[in-house]
Structure 1
């Protein structure tokens, strides 16, 4: 289904940017309109299993996700259950002289009515996810 890539340059050090993106347990505090609820189910080294309630625009998803972190280089999210099962979100963090470049690749798998609606609004999920990314940028730069 929808596959897309996004990039942002953030005026902050890579380690602090990575921290904002990879500390998903803080998402409801920093991004309540996108992540109203997060419940960590398991943590083992750099891998966590997390129950997430995600809002993309006016669509709501309840997912079980496996987060894999390689600090401060990458953070990957594999949706292993629930709505959007099989989706993959890959975030890479490149250190620049003036900040950090964040590159996000999304392979969003959707089913049912959402799949049909995505055919008519081709970029709807990309635009909604870009808004989430922009909110991450605002937090990282403050």
Structure 2
């Protein structure tokens, strides 16, 4: 199962970085190459259930995700249905200085079927493909 961690330092205030990373409702507008479709099904406080189409490299995943936000410290994504059900992505936001934020990501993708086979044979690099998404969000934050 693909389990990995990533770190990215972004030259922007933590609040700005957090808002961009946790603004999943607008992923479809801001990074459509990675999220061609996002539909919020329900929101209660800091918890939302969202239907998402996620492009990881050449693989399109249809997922139902529960987003849990703890502003401005963390954003957790629990995949509760779909292609990678049982997966968890945790994003933590650490203020390094007034205008620098470190994003620490812990991801545990639960894959099955064809995706498991392609992962075993090195055709799916989840870490590399997820890093592309993180880099694209970082570019938006710094622009």
Which TM-score applies when normalising by structure 2?
A: 0.97
- 1:63-97 per-residue CA deviation (whole Å, 9 max, x = no partner) reads 00000000000000000001100000000000011
Residue in structure 2 matched with residue 52 of structure 1 by the alignment: 52
- For structure 1, the 5+ residue unaligned runs are none
Q: Which residue of 2 aligns with 1:103?
A: 104
Counterpart CA distance in 1 for 2:124 and 2:12 is 29
**Alignment match, 2:113:** 112
**What CA distance in whole angstroms lies between the structure 2 residues aligned with 1:45 and 1:124?**
34
- The structural deviation recorded for 1:123 is 6.7
2-structure distance, mates of 1:20, 1:92: 13
Structure 2 unaligned residues grouped into runs of 5+:
none
User: Deviations 1:74-129 (Å, cap 9, x if unpaired)?
Assistant: 00000000110000000000001141000000000111101110011177111100
- Give me the whole-angstrom Cα distance separating, in 1, the residues matched to 2:141 and 2:51: 24
CA distance in structure 1 between the partners assigned to 2:40 and 2:128 by the alignment: 27
Q: CA deviation at 1:136?
A: 0.8
Q: TM-score, normalization: structure 1?
A: 0.98
Tell me if structure 1 keeps the 8 A contact 2:79–2:86: yes
Secondary structure of residue in 2 paired with 1:42: strand
- Name the count of aligned residue pairs: 142
1:26 counterpart = 2:21: no
CA RMSD of aligned residues (A): 1.0
